Structure 1
Amino acid sequence: MYRNVAETIKGITGGRTLNDERKTILQPLIAFVQQKVNNGQDVNLNFICTHNSRRSHLAQVWAQVASVYFHIPSVYCYSGGTEETALFPKVADTLIRQGFVVFKMAEADNPIYAIKYSDSALPIIGFSKKYDSSFNPASTFAAIMTCSQADGGCPFIAGAEKRIAITFEDPKVSDGTPEQARVYAERSLQIAMEMFYVFSMIEI
């Protein structure tokens, strides 16, 4: 794992704790992952938000990293939206500042990014897509709703084995303000801390 990513992880795991409300919200995801691990099955997680541009990507990236950090086998993280837009550039910039290597694999209105946390691991592929894109699993996955708008506007996720609401405040509220970098960094770290809590609770 890259040294700067490891330093970011050290910062989120060094004494900060979640409140009981967030732990309760995260418990269904812990239970889903634990059941799959107990049964020796793949753990497919699809993080879903309206535009698949900010929170869902951050959750996908940090959940994948957390699963590797805690040596949880066969975890595959995806993301999608109720509509396709583009990964917001500030998300890529935030991840770079937190130690990741991020580069564009394809230029377009909806660019495709490779997001790397280690030289020895496959990159996480980041681009905006609908939750039911052929890039994502079609069955036996947990649909994790990362925004209340997607959760309310998407009453049925075809193929989802489990639907779990874990919502986060949209960092978009800071766009165009002097607070943008700070807000995106804080949201990324919040999501990271929660995904690390989830995978720290898994027994293998």
Structure 2
Amino acid sequence: MTRTESSLFTGISALIQELKPENISVERKAVLKPLIDFIQSKASKNKEIRINFICTHNSRRSHLSQVWAQTMANHFKVNNVTCYSGGTEATALFPMAAETLQNSGFRIRKISEDQNPIYSIKYAENEHPIIGFSKKLDDEFNPKSEFAAIMTCSQADGGCPFIAGAEKRIPITFEDPKAFDNTPQQAEKYNERSIQIATELFFVFSQISL
């Protein structure tokens, strides 16, 4: 299998083909560079690559980032990548975030129905599903050491000056689609943010030399 030959679900592969990483600004590429460097340093030594995407509520941007990063690692055949997400507090994976991923071709199944539901999120037939639910960044589900902490919102970035166990702490912040909840633009804005995150993580993993 060549590096760009994908085993992803058809809808996800089609969406990836339409991404435009060439439109990422020079300034934004500079923001993404520390994550590229972290992944490359691990990949070059054939080491485990653990990435924990952190936001305040672990409900929207951190999940979108976790899912797209795991997907892009698969797409570009970067091995030994495990992506996580967490928050400064636990709430719930916001339903519109899950719906946005489903509309992008992910197969999503809710496997618990409590106030903080657990989702199975699959991006490929033969890959283990991503387990999506809201949790604090230091939850038992997340790594305790040897990971990069990616701060996806400015509140978490400012409120968490120290992340225990993190090898690197990298701010890559995204605007919150929550601002459009309960408005006619909600679905459009969640998709817009998801596409931005997908595009930037496509660029990140495309830069890794194997």
TM value normalised by structure 1:
0.98
Answering whether residue 155 of structure 2 is matched by residue 153 of structure 1, we say: no
Query: Partners in 1 of 2:207 and 2:23 — Cα distance?
Result: 13
The residue number in structure 1 matching 2:13 is 6
Answering whether residue 110 of structure 2 is matched by residue 98 of structure 1, we say: no
**Where does structure 1 differ by over 3 angstroms across 4 or more consecutive aligned residues?**
none
Answering whether residue 63 of structure 2 is matched by residue 51 of structure 1, we say: no
Answering whether residue 139 of structure 2 is matched by residue 143 of structure 1, we say: no
Query: Any stretches of 5+ residues in structure 1 without a counterpart?
Result: none
Query: Any stretches of 5+ residues in structure 2 without a counterpart?
Result: 1-7
The residue number in structure 2 matching 1:163 is 169
Query: Partners in 2 of 1:144 and 1:70 — Cα distance?
Result: 20
The residue number in structure 2 matching 1:121 is 127
What displacement does 1:119 show?
A: 1.2
The residue number in structure 2 matching 1:66 is 72
Cα deviation code 1:77-127 (max 9, x no counterpart)? 000000000000000100111111101111110000000111111101100
What displacement does 1:17 show?
A: 2.2
Counterpart residue identity of residue 102, structure 2: I
Query: Partners in 2 of 1:4 and 1:73 — Cα distance?
Result: 23
The residue number in structure 2 matching 1:189 is 195
What displacement does 1:50 show?
A: 0.1
Query: Partners in 2 of 1:21 and 1:52 — Cα distance?
Result: 26
Percent of residue pairs identical: 59
SS in 2 for 1:12: coil
1:177 pairs with one of 156, 179, 183: 183
Query: Partners in 1 of 2:22 and 2:122 — Cα distance?
Result: 25
Counterpart residue identity of residue 192, structure 1: A
Give the CA RMSD over aligned residues. 0.8
Cα deviation code 1:124-156 (max 9, x no counterpart)? 110000000010000000000000000000111
The residue number in structure 1 matching 2:32 is 26
SS in 1 for 2:182: coil
Counterpart residue identity of residue 126, structure 1: G
Counterpart residue identity of residue 194, structure 1: E
What displacement does 1:16 show?
A: 4.5
TM value normalised by structure 2:
0.95
Aligned length: 203
Cα deviation code 1:45-87 (max 9, x no counterpart)? 0000000000000000000000000000100000000000000
